[in-house]
Amino acid sequence: MEKTNRSYAVSKSDEEWRAELNPAEYQVLRQAGTERPFVGEYTDTKTEGVYACRACGAELFTSDTKFDSHCGWPSFYAPLAGDSVEYIEDNSLGMRRVEVRCATCGSHLGHLFEGEGYDTPTDQRYCINSISMTLRPKAG
Active centre residues (catalytic): 127
C-alpha R_g of the chain: 14
Phi and psi (nearest 5°) for 73?
A: -135, 155
CA gap 70, 53 in Å, rounded:
22
Contact between residue 128 and residue 75 where contact means Cβ atoms under 8 Å apart = yes
